[in-house]
A and B are shown apart, each in its own frame.
Chain A
Amino acid sequence: MILTWLVAIPAGGGLLAWLTGRKNPQGPRWIALGVLVVELAAALMLTARFADRLWSPDQGRWLTTVKIAWIPSFGINFALALDGFSLLLVLLTAVLGIMALASAWTEIKERTGFFYFNLLWVLSGIMGVFLTMDLFLFYFFWEVMLIPMYLIILLWGHANRVYAATKFFLFTQISGLLMLLAILGLYFLHGRATGVYTFDYRELLGTVMSPGIARWLMLGFLAAFVVKLPVVPVHSWLPDAHTEAPTPGSVILAGLLLKTGAYGLVRFAVPLFPEAAASLAPAGMALGVVSILYGALLALGQSDLKRLVAYTSVSHMGFVMLGVFAWNQLALQGVVMQMICHGISTGALFMLVGALQQRLGTRDLKQMGGLWDSMPRMGAVFLLFAMASLGLPGLGNFIAEFLILLGAYQVSVLWAVLAAIGLVAASVYALRMLQASFHGKAVHTWQVPDLALRETAAMTCMVVIIVWLGLFPQWVLNTARGPLQALQKTAVVRTQQTPPGIVRLISQQLAVPPLEGGRP
């Protein structure tokens, strides 16, 4: 039942926030804070409750499940289930929800009730996406999280918000509808073969189909996930949406919404269609590498700080694409790490950019420079997250990208090498970003306050998390291992390659079994 609460608490809180907002504009943010604290507490309670089972592979696949008949005529259930993989993302959602709230605290002044309603409903939809086991319900949540996000960009965004919001909505809508077609195709295929018409993911796994059909259906799923991730060439909604969204919107977009695409790939797209995934794997890895390099290249050329960070997201999500299609234990562990670390680090960067914009009234790098003098604390935090973004060892992102590269190397040396070039480009854009804003000559003499108490507190949390992930990644890796192995088993393993010696050595050090899988 607690899983239902994870979805219901933000939704109910959102309605409450909206209603109070009509009387008292200060009320909603306190309600949202209360709701999100309860949400985080619930997520932590879940973690504590299953702590002993999290790492043991033989305790059954799901830690806890919920199943209530919803539309029996179609075999649709309100089915939620939790495993380690979902749990990690639930925790990420709860944490970033609070961070988004922190960045909204003073930035959102108008129509606060409706804003916090939308904020909480996005979170509710995202929770649903990470927990659902019914493909119809998945599509439902997938669409539900879209609408409030659209409204957040549309109503509280910056100058070009209508264009950005509409583009965001249209891109995700068309790709979502293609996924719906694929879901329905799978539903009827399975129903006709077995006589059981159901949208239940666990039953649909292993549906037998011809390679041609499997490929088309997989492409339907891929359309939705690749647009959300996003992968070049369907990434063009992202820079606009991120740039025009208010800070909390950007935090949620970059930190969570992109992760739903990655989650969909790992949870649904590959396990449901393992053969098709194997045949598409070279193309998938190539697209991943193209995204890494192209995103980094475009990030290099931006002068709008927010747009720059947005393009780095494209680059970082390219690693996810690469890792998913490498589909071995190392790469998948890396993908999970990347989802979490990118969520934290880019979320933090967007919060910092938002804080800068609130103070300076501009996001233009050419107008900045020498800000360290007036804002040393913000500068230090900015430095840390810029380093995280470029993959400095000791911070979480390093572990993630390193694991993905190792995993990809087992499958294709070429793509791994090319992807590694992306790390070089990352150093250039991250350093340039830092250089042009906090170092160098000041164009203007800014007299601006440093991070306030609320911002410092939020940033401290983020810093602690990213450093913890970098120094002690084992907790996350262990938690993700069981579910990832189960996912790999469903996507039948074929070619077992013996990895090069160095890879084996490092995997032993990291206690990640390297031979758990080859390519799908």
Chain B
Amino acid sequence: MNPDAWRAVMPLVCLAAAAIVLLLLIPVRRRHGAAVVVALAGLAAALATLPDLSGGRIVQVTPLLVFDGTAVVYLALFTLAGAVTVLLSYGYLQTYDGRREEFYLLVLLAVIGASVLAVSNHFAALFLGLEILSIALYALIPYPHRTGAQLEAAVKYLILAAVSSAFLLFGMALFYAGAGYMTIGSVAALLGNATNPAIRWLTAGVAMMIVAVGFKLAVVPFHLWTPDVYQGAPPPIGAFVATVSKGAIVALLLRLLPPGDLPRGFIIVFTAMAMASMIAGNLLALRQNNIKRILAYSSIAHMGYLLVAYLAGGAMATAAVTFYLATYFVTNLGAFGVLTLLSGPEKDAEALEDFRGLFWRQPWLAGILVLMVFSLAGLPLTAGFPGKFYLVAAGVAGARWMLVVTLAITSTIGLYYYLRIAVTLFARAPESAGLRPGPALLGRFTLAGLTGVLVWIGVLPEAVIALIRAFL
């Protein structure tokens, strides 16, 4: 490996080093604060050592990994989201009397898995990354385990994720049978060549991989696990599943099947999934009475929106998908962050009824939640507005009229349940015990920062757009 390759791979090395240090630290001295510091240090080091690969530079690290501008953007997103998850979890776990330190180890591992996915150039790396991410999540979802519902969620995730992994492996095998090698970069070119005698093997293989991708993205019809896992997982992990785990798959998808030159059959499949996700996600969210479940169904719809830009192809697609994902990260981390702060050791804040009138008791927290919800709805002055605008712009540029009109109509349906949350928060309610936030100072600062970023992107999105464009 040449020096360039070493420099490129440094972020992964930092994350792994932090994980090992934490692993060694825990048996020696079990301290909650120390674990947080090590995890944050690892994430910060990873962020600091990210190579500057703007302007189309590519660094190949062994046949397995490839670092390019897109990968750097996604790695930055994952490490930042991981750091926010750690910061939010600190207050949440403070009151937990079980073992807290391993939690951060698992978060670090999950970030490593997601990062490997984003830089994988080979099916082996892909599978390794996906499994590191998934296995960490199996343990994280029921982590401060109190109720059966959490275990149920974890087992459901475990079984379905295992099935999707099986699909992925089978797909890889089929592809290998047809192509004779497993480089991810070659997939699109091979698929595009219809005269290839092995095209059926290749198509079948990639189709099975799409099943796995669809499962992790939670698009219809592979979405069934989402509401239960979101509900069962502790809120910071809900945030992590909603953001990093999905973002990693989006990064993979962009590499596996770059937008624009998809074969016709795959376009139809993705269009169907996008339409179904937008419609089903929004309709199913309408009658939920649990904020976590609403967020789950809304995330299904949002992945449908994201596919609209992906399907549009053209120069804008990758930038639109990435920028939208960035705004989606901020928004979901913020929304789950509020839930985290309101959740106590006994129970999580999730029933919509518990939030009644919260705005008048906890104006700041509720105000932030309203902003986050408005951002999910794509209203102006929040990050969701330029995000959705970028998506729709990409869709219109690609003349995907059916998809963008569906997006417009279904997101109006979606507005209804976002408004329901706002109505509940603003309702005139008698003073009740209701939800009381913990004294999590760290979490509050994190939330304030997220809100600042949300409004900043909402009002002045140019900086982030320009940054993303420079790297893609």
Q: How far is the CA of A270 from the CA of B396 in the complex (A)?
A: 22
- Interface residue A140 (Cβ < 8 Å from any Cβ of B): yes
Contact: A181 with B405, CB < 8 Å? Answer: yes
Among A70, A143, A184, which residue has its beta carbon within 8 angstroms of that of B380? Answer: A143
Chain B residue numbers with a CB within 8 Å of A111 are 360
Chain B residue numbers with a CB within 8 Å of A174 are 408-409, 412
Contact: A154 with B426, CB < 8 Å? Answer: yes
Among A73, A136, A162, A170, which residue has its beta carbon within 8 angstroms of that of B466? Answer: A73
Q: Given known contacts A143-B385, A155-B426, A169-B419, is B462 in contact with A70 (CB within 8 Å)? A: yes
Per-position 1/0 for B378-422, Cβ under 8 A of A: 011100011001001100110000001100110110011001001
Contact: A154 with B423, CB < 8 Å? Answer: yes
Contact: B462 with A147, CB < 8 Å? Answer: no
- Interface residue B465 (Cβ < 8 Å from any Cβ of A): yes
B366 to A: closest C-beta gap in Å: 12
For residue A179, which residue of chain B has the nearest CB?
Answer: B408
Contact: A184 with B392, CB < 8 Å? Answer: yes
Contact: B412 with A177, CB < 8 Å? Answer: yes
Chain A residue numbers with a CB within 8 Å of B386 are 71
Among B423, B462, B469, which residue has its beta carbon within 8 angstroms of that of A166? Answer: B423
Q: How far is the CA of A146 from the CA of B157 in the complex (A)?
A: 40
A442 to B: closest C-beta gap in Å: 35
For residue B407, which residue of chain A has the nearest CB?
Answer: A177
Among A151, A169, A187, which residue has its beta carbon within 8 angstroms of that of B415? Answer: A169
A512 to B: closest C-beta gap in Å: 39
Q: Which among A136, A166, A170, A173 has the highest number of chain B CB atoms within 10 Å? A: A173
Contact: A180 with B392, CB < 8 Å? Answer: yes
For residue B468, which residue of chain A has the nearest CB?
Answer: A73
| A contact face: mostly helix, strand, loop, or mixed | helix
- Interface residue A178 (Cβ < 8 Å from any Cβ of B): yes
Chain A residue numbers with a CB within 8 Å of B260 are none
Within 8 A of A (CB), among B330-372: 360
- Interface residue A185 (Cβ < 8 Å from any Cβ of B): yes
- Interface residue A42 (Cβ < 8 Å from any Cβ of B): no
- Interface residue B185 (Cβ < 8 Å from any Cβ of A): no
Contact: A177 with B411, CB < 8 Å? Answer: yes
Q: Given known contacts A162-B423, A174-B409, is B396 in contact with A181 (CB within 8 Å)? A: yes
Contact: B466 with A144, CB < 8 Å? Answer: no
- Interface residue B374 (Cβ < 8 Å from any Cβ of A): yes
Q: How far is the CA of A185 from the CA of B392 in the complex (A)?
A: 10
Chain A residue numbers with a CB within 8 Å of B412 are 170, 173-174, 177
Q: How far is the CA of A108 from the CA of B405 in the complex (A)?
A: 40
Q: Given known contacts A177-B411, A181-B404, is B397 in contact with A73 (CB within 8 Å)? A: no
Q: Given known contacts A73-B469, A170-B415, A174-B409, is B423 in contact with A188 (CB within 8 Å)? A: no
- Interface residue A472 (Cβ < 8 Å from any Cβ of B): no
| B contact face: mostly helix, strand, loop, or mixed | helix
For residue B415, which residue of chain A has the nearest CB?
Answer: A173
Within 8 A of B (CB), among A334-359: none
Q: How far is the CA of A162 from the CA of B462 in the complex (A)?
A: 36
Chain A residue numbers with a CB within 8 Å of B392 are 180-181, 184
Q: How many A-B residue pairs have CB under 8 A?
A: 69
- Interface residue B438 (Cβ < 8 Å from any Cβ of A): no
Q: How far is the CA of A72 from the CA of B460 in the complex (A)?
A: 11
For residue B462, which residue of chain A has the nearest CB?
Answer: A71
Q: How far is the CA of A266 from the CA of B412 in the complex (A)?
A: 27
Among B393, B408, B419, which residue has its beta carbon within 8 angstroms of that of A74? Answer: B393
Within 8 A of B (CB), among A152-170: 154-155, 162, 165-166, 169-170
Chain A residue numbers with a CB within 8 Å of B409 are 174
Among B374, B397, B460, B466, which residue has its beta carbon within 8 angstroms of that of A147? Answer: B374
Within 8 A of A (CB), among B71-120: none
- Interface residue B461 (Cβ < 8 Å from any Cβ of A): yes
Contact: A73 with B396, CB < 8 Å? Answer: no
Range, interface on chain B: 20 to 34
Contact: A166 with B416, CB < 8 Å? Answer: yes
Contact: A180 with B389, CB < 8 Å? Answer: yes
Q: Given known contacts A147-B374, A180-B389, A188-B397, is B416 in contact with A71 (CB within 8 Å)? A: no
Chain A residue numbers with a CB within 8 Å of B385 are 140, 143
Chain B residue numbers with a CB within 8 Å of A184 are 392-393, 396-397
Chain B residue numbers with a CB within 8 Å of A170 are 412, 415-416
Chain B residue numbers with a CB within 8 Å of A74 are 393, 465
Chain A residue numbers with a CB within 8 Å of B393 are 74, 184, 187
Chain A residue numbers with a CB within 8 Å of B462 are 70-73
Per-position 1/0 for A429-452, Cβ under 8 A of B: 000000000000000000000000
Chain B residue numbers with a CB within 8 Å of A178 are 408
Q: How far is the CA of A184 from the CA of B401 in the complex (A)?
A: 11
Within 8 A of A (CB), among B120-167: none
Q: How far is the CA of A165 from the CA of B389 in the complex (A)?
A: 24
Chain A residue numbers with a CB within 8 Å of B404 are 181
Q: How far is the CA of A181 from the CA of B405 in the complex (A)?
A: 8
Q: How far is the CA of A155 from the CA of B357 in the complex (A)?
A: 11
Within 8 A of B (CB), among A313-370: none
Among A147, A154, A166, A177, which residue has its beta carbon within 8 angstroms of that of B408? Answer: A177
Q: How far is the CA of A185 from the CA of B374 in the complex (A)?
A: 25
B234 to A: closest C-beta gap in Å: 32
Among A144, A165, A173, which residue has its beta carbon within 8 angstroms of that of B381? Answer: A144
A212 to B: closest C-beta gap in Å: 13
Per-position 1/0 for A132-145, Cβ under 8 A of B: 00001000100110
Contact: A185 with B465, CB < 8 Å? Answer: no
B314 to A: closest C-beta gap in Å: 10
Q: How far is the CA of A150 from the CA of B389 in the complex (A)?
A: 22
Chain A residue numbers with a CB within 8 Å of B422 are 154
Chain B residue numbers with a CB within 8 Å of A136 are 389
Within 8 A of A (CB), among B423-455: 423, 426
Chain B residue numbers with a CB within 8 Å of A140 are 380, 385
Chain B residue numbers with a CB within 8 Å of A185 are 396
Within 8 A of B (CB), among A169-213: 169-170, 173-174, 177-178, 180-181, 184-185, 187-188
Q: How far is the CA of A162 from the CA of B426 in the complex (A)?
A: 11
Q: How far is the CA of A202 from the CA of B460 in the complex (A)?
A: 23
Chain B residue numbers with a CB within 8 Å of A180 are 389, 392, 408
A7 to B: closest C-beta gap in Å: 13
Q: How far is the CA of A185 from the CA of B398 in the complex (A)?
A: 10
Chain A residue numbers with a CB within 8 Å of B381 are 144
Contact: A71 with B397, CB < 8 Å? Answer: no
Q: How far is the CA of A140 from the CA of B388 in the complex (A)?
A: 12
Contact: B408 with A181, CB < 8 Å? Answer: yes
A166 to B: closest C-beta gap in Å: 6
Q: Given known contacts A174-B412, A177-B412, is B426 in contact with A151 (CB within 8 Å)? A: yes
Contact: B419 with A166, CB < 8 Å? Answer: yes
Q: How far is the CA of A109 from the CA of B77 in the complex (A)?
A: 46
Chain A residue numbers with a CB within 8 Å of B426 are 151, 154-155
A22 to B: closest C-beta gap in Å: 8
Chain A residue numbers with a CB within 8 Å of B379 are 143, 146-147
Q: How far is the CA of A166 from the CA of B417 in the complex (A)?
A: 10
Q: How far is the CA of A149 from the CA of B322 in the complex (A)?
A: 33
For residue A22, which residue of chain B has the nearest CB?
Answer: B363
30 contacts between A and B (CB under 8 A): A71-B462, A71-B465, A72-B462, A73-B466, A73-B469, A136-B389, A140-B385, A144-B381, A147-B380, A150-B419, A154-B426, A162-B423, A165-B419, A166-B416, A170-B415, A170-B416, A173-B412, A174-B409, A174-B412, A177-B408, A177-B411, A177-B412, A181-B392, A181-B404, A181-B405, A181-B408, A184-B396, A185-B396, A187-B396, A188-B396
Which residues from chain B sit less than 8 Å from chain A, CB to CB? Answer: 360, 374, 379-381, 385-386, 389, 392-393, 396-397, 404-405, 408-409, 411-412, 415-416, 419, 422-423, 426, 460-462, 465-466, 469
Given contacts A143-B380, A174-B412, A188-B396, 9 further A-B contacts (CB under 8 A): A73-B469, A136-B389, A140-B380, A170-B415, A170-B416, A181-B404, A184-B392, A185-B396, A188-B397
A-B residue pairs, 10 tightest by C-beta: A177-B408, A174-B412, A184-B396, A143-B380, A73-B465, A71-B462, A144-B380, A173-B412, A140-B380, A188-B397
